[in-house]
C-alpha cells in the first residue's frame, strides 16, 4: 500500500505541474494577445492625433485665408486679373507705351562690340610653383604633352606639364612616397 501511496503522490505532483505549466502557457498567450491589442490601440491613437493635427492646420489655414481676404478687401483692394487685363499681342503692348520725352536719351537699338585684335600690354606670367617668369617663345602645355621630347629642355615654368609630358614619353614608371603612408 505504501508503494501505491507514493505512486499516487508522484502522479498527483506530475498532474499539478502539468496543470501549472498549462495555466502559465495560457496566461502567457493571453498577455501577448493583450499586448498586441495595446499596440494596435496605441497606433490608432497616434494616427488619430496626426489626423487631428492635420485638420487643425487646415482649419487655421482656411481661417487665415478668410482673414486675408477680409484684410485685402479693406486695406489693399487687390483683385484677381480679369480677362480684359490681358493683351493679345505685341501691337497692343506697343499701343500702351508712352511717347519719349524731348530730353530723354536715344534708345539703344543694338549692342556693338569692336573686335580689333591688337596686343594688349599684360604683365609677364609667373609660375606659382617656381616663381620664375615664362619665356615668350615657350610652347603651350598641350603641345608639350603630345610627345615633344624637348619639353623639359626649354626651361619653362610649367613643372606639372613637363612631368606629364615626361611620363607619357618614358617607358618606366616612378614611385611616389606619400608622407605618413606605409607603402611596402
Name the one residue in this structure whose C-alpha cell is 530723354: 104
Quick one: cell of 156?
Answer: 619653362
**pTM of the complete model:** 0.32
The region that residue 168 occupies, defined by phi over 0 for left and psi between -120 and 50 for alpha, beta otherwise, is alpha
- pLDDT score, position 153: 46
- pLDDT score, position 157: 46
The number of C-alpha atoms within 13 Å of 163 and in the hemisphere containing its C-beta is 8
CA trace torsion 80, 83, 87, 92 (10° rounding): -120
- pLDDT score, position 20: 96
- pLDDT score, position 71: 76
Average pLDDT, the chain: 74
- pLDDT score, position 70: 79
- pLDDT score, position 19: 96
- pLDDT score, position 171: 45
CA angle 80, 77, 71 (to 5 degrees): 105
Report the alpha-carbon distance of residue 131 to residue 151 in Å, rounded. Answer: 19
Give pLDDT < 50 ranges for the chain.
Answer: 142, 144, 148-157, 171-174
Amino acid at each position: 500500500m505504501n508503494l501505491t501511496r507514493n505512486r499516487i503522490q508522484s502522479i498527483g505532483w506530475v498532474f499539478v505541474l502539468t496543470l501549472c505549466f498549462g495555466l502559465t502557457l495560457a496566461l502567457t498567450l493571453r498577455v501577448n494577445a493583450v499586448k498586441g491589442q495595446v499596440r494596435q490601440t496605441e497606433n490608432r491613437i497616434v494616427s488619430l492625433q496626426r489626423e487631428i493635427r492635420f485638420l487643425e492646420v487646415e482649419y487655421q489655414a482656411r481661417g487665415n485665408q478668410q482673414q486675408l481676404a477680409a484684410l485685402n478687401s479693406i486695406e489693399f483692394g487687390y483683385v484677381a486679373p480679369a480677362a480684359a487685363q490681358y493683351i493679345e499681342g505685341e501691337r497692343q503692348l506697343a499701343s500702351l507705351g508712352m511717347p519719349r520725352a524731348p530730353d530723354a536719351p536715344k534708345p539703344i537699338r543694338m549692342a556693338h562690340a569692336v573686335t580689333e585684335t591688337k596686343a594688349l600690354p599684360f604683365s609677364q606670367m609667373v609660375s606659382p610653383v617656381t616663381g620664375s617668369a615664362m619665356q615668350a617663345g615657350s610652347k603651350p602645355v598641350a603641345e608639350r604633352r603630345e610627345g615633344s621630347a624637348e619639353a623639359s629642355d626649354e626651361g619653362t615654368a610649367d613643372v606639372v606639364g613637363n612631368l606629364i609630358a615626361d611620363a607619357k614619353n618614358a617607358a618606366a614608371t616612378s614611385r611616389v612616397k606619400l608622407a605618413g603612408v606605409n607603402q611596402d
